[in-house]
Amino acid sequence: MDDKQTKKVRCRHCGHIFEVEAEAIHITCPKCRKDFWVALISLMGGKFV
Amino acid sequence: MAETFPVVARGIGRPDYAREIDKIKRGETYPQFEPRPDSEKYKIFVGVFLPTAPLAIGATFHLIDIETNLATPYDSPAGFIADFREWFFALDGKVGFLMDLDGIMQFYMVPDSLATVHEYEQIVWGKSSLFDPNALSAHTWDFSIKNLDDHVITGAVHTALALVVK
């Protein structure tokens, strides 16, 4: 079973909301295929918040 | 064994910091900027209103989590104490800012127009530990601004929650 943490993100271009790996910062939207970046600052004790 | 040398104190007048280092004032760390718990991290929420996409008259905008691009409300998880500790406004018009915690506690302010406002608070009442000291449950934080002016507004606003593992 894949127990990797995930997070929901919102595409900066088309607004599509989808899940990616929690550590992902450079993301490609599966709907519009465009790339965008999100910040990653909240890893605490191995848990993303 | 390391060789030692006598050091001659040079300089004129007082204070002579070579002998009275306890009186040094420059570089002093103010209490609010002293080191905080190692586990402390920040959740940052922003709103950016470019001239090409300003905040419309009467419009309400929910600040966006920069880690996900999702609009608030944001749920701070159980097991963490969350403080509403920092806020920043640089806008060219009058807005009303609302922080809503769990739908029961609210913080509302109308920052100065045409001014840059940046606050980092040591004493905060928007603090989940005040009513959930053991961080047993998640808490919902909503940050929004509303255009109260008679023209569109450009500029930026951000806030930060400080999260600490309980």
User: Is A38–B76 a contact, with Cβ atoms under 8 angstroms apart?
Assistant: no
User: What is the pTM (predicted TM-score) of this model?
Assistant: 0.80
Q: Is the peptide bond before B73 cis (omega within 30 degrees of 0)?
A: yes
Q: By the 8 A CB rule, do A22 and A5 touch?
A: yes
Chain A residues within 8 A of B41 when measuring between CB atoms:
41-44, 49
All residues of chain B having their beta carbon less than 8 Å from the beta carbon of residue A47 are 77
pLDDT digits (tens, 9 = 90+) for A7-37: 899 999 999 999 999 889 999 999 999 999 9
Answer whether residue A5 shows pLDDT above 90. no
- Looking at per-residue confidence, does B85 or B34 come out higher? B85
**Res B21: pLDDT:** 63
Give the residue extent of every domain in chain B. Answer: 39-165
Domain ranges across chain A: 6-43
- Residues 6 or more apart whose CB falls under 8 angstroms from that of B65 comprise B43, B44, B45, B71, B72, B74
- B20-38 confidence digits (pLDDT tens): 666 666 666 666 667 778 7
Domain B39-165, CATH: 2.60.120
Those residues whose C-beta lies under 8 Å from the C-beta of residue B19, and which sit 6 or more positions away, are B9
Q: Which chain A residues contact residue B160 at CB under 8 A?
A: none
- Closest by CA to A7, choosing from B105, B65, B145, is B65
Q: Is it the case that residue B139 has pLDDT exceeding 90?
A: yes
CA distance B142 to B164: 19
Interface test with A, best of B36, B38, B39, B69 (most A CBs within 10 A): B69
Question: Of all helices (H) and strands (E), which one includes residue B165?
Answer: strand B155-165
* CA–CA dist B42, B163 (Å, integer): 6
Beta strands in B1-149 (DSSP E): 41-49, 60-62, 64-65, 74-76, 80-91, 95-101, 105-109, 116-120, 139-147
ipTM of the complex: 0.84
